[in-house]
């Protein structure tokens, strides 16, 4: 009987130990990221969690301006913010919420469509705006107050007016189909794939990720080439800032994404390790496969404030 009791006690201790081990929750890295980063960040998270079983990546996708306001207005806990525009972090979050940001990838604006889009067999890089003006065509774009893709679309339209020498082109395009303006890329894709609209202005990477056709726009208007920054700087827009009643002034610039770890990040050390994975070869390969080119060497305005673990990525070639 004593032997049986002893064995039962030992078994109970083992079971209790197993339960305790099983109840240990993984550390959660919270990431607020641009909607256009949804696909690569899901792949990054999946790969990282495989390599680091004690980590769980929690992702929230939204327009980059909305992501920033979750931090500045709603005070939601967050470890990493990844924005489609470095300006969002630099203007709205530095220095109160973070000290630094790293620019890590670029993109370009395109006009995307499907085989079912009206006049899909006619549209090209020379006549796209004429097609959009047709009465039977509906197009959609993102909200400039919510998403960099939205104000970049406005920049593209303003630059197109200059490039094609069509006075008033931008205002006429922006006045058309205003009921189809949506907060972020995912909403635009839903409209396009449901045939509610014929064309949408989105990033090339998003079009590639969703197997969509697209019109490749001239580099003078698609915001893809830093060589044309002086031209891009000639267009601007005022949008909602860190709160609903504030406004900020934004000038056109070539597209560059940035990220940062927040000062009060719940898991800052783990967040920096994840960013190291993202900036490494495996992470950048994921971006390349999803239609986004890395900005190498990665750049920042204040290299002295970048965490030591990430310094090496500022000198890559």
Neighbours of 276 (CB within 10 A): 15
Long-range Cβ contacts of 132-138 (<8 Å, 24+ apart): 132/173, 132/176, 132/199, 133/172, 133/173, 133/176, 137/198, 137/199, 138/177, 138/180, 138/196, 138/197, 138/198, 138/199
Read off the pTM: 0.87
- What was the pLDDT predicted at 245? 81
What is residue 185's predicted lDDT score, i.e. its pLDDT?
A: 81
Question: What does the pLDDT look like over 223-264, one tens digit per residue?
Answer: 999 999 999 999 999 998 877 788 889 999 999 999 999 999
pLDDT at residue 196, rounded to an integer? 97
Q: What is the DSSP string of 70-95?
A: HHHTS----SEEEESSHHHHHHHTTT
Confidence (pLDDT) at 317? 57
Q: Yes or no: say if 55 and 26 are a contact pair by the CB < 8 Å rule.
A: yes
Domains (ranges, CATH) in the chain? 26-106+256-314 (3.40.190.10), 109-240 (3.40.190.10)
Beta strands in the chain (DSSP E): 27-34, 55-62, 80-83, 102-105, 109-113, 139-140, 199-203, 213-216, 236-240, 247-251, 257-261, 294-299
Take residue 51 and report the two structure tokens written for it. 């390599």
Q: Which residues of the chain have pLDDT under 70?
A: 1-24, 316-317
Integer Cα distance of 125 and 155 in angstroms: 17
């Amino acid at each position: 009987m004593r032997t049986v009791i002893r064995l039962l006690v030992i078994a109970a201790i083992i079971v209790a130990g197993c339960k305790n081990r099983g109840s240990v929750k993984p550390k959660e890295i919270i990431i607020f990221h641009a909607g256009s980063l949804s696909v690569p960040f899901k792949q990054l998270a999946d790969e990282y969690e495989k390599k680091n079983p004690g980590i769980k990546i929690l992702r929230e996708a939204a327009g980059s301006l909305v992501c920033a306001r979750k931090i500045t207005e709603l005070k939601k806990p967050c470890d990493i913010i990844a924005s489609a525009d470095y300006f969002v972090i630099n203007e709205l979050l530095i220095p109160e919420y973070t000290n630094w940001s790293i620019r890590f990838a670029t993109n370009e604006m395109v006009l995307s469509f499907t085989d079912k889009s009206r006049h899909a067999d006619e549209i090209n890089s020379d006549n796209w705006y004429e097609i959009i003006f047709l009465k039977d065509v509906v197009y959609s774009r993102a909200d400039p107050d919510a998403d960099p893709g939205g104000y970049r679309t406005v920049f593209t339209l303003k630059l197109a007016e200059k490039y094609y020498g069509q006075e008033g082109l931008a205002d006429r395009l922006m006045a058309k189909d205003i009921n189809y303006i949506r907060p972020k890329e995912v909403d635009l894709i839903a409209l396009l794939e449901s045939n509610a609209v014929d064309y949408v202005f989105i990033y090339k990477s998003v079009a590639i990720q969703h197997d969509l056709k697209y019109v490749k726009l001239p580099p003078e208007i698609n915001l893809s080439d830093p060589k044309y920054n002086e031209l891009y700087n000639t267009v601007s827009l005022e949008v909602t800032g860190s709160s609903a009643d504030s406004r900020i002034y934004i000038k056109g610039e070539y597209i560059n994404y940035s990220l940062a770890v927040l000062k009060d990040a719940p898991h800052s050390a783990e967040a920096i390790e994840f960013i190291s994975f993202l900036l490494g070869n495996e992470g950048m390969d994921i971006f390349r496969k999803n239609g986004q080119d890395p900005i190498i060497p990665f750049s920042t305005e204040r290299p002295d404030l970048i965490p030591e673990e990430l310094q090496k990525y500022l000198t890559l070639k």
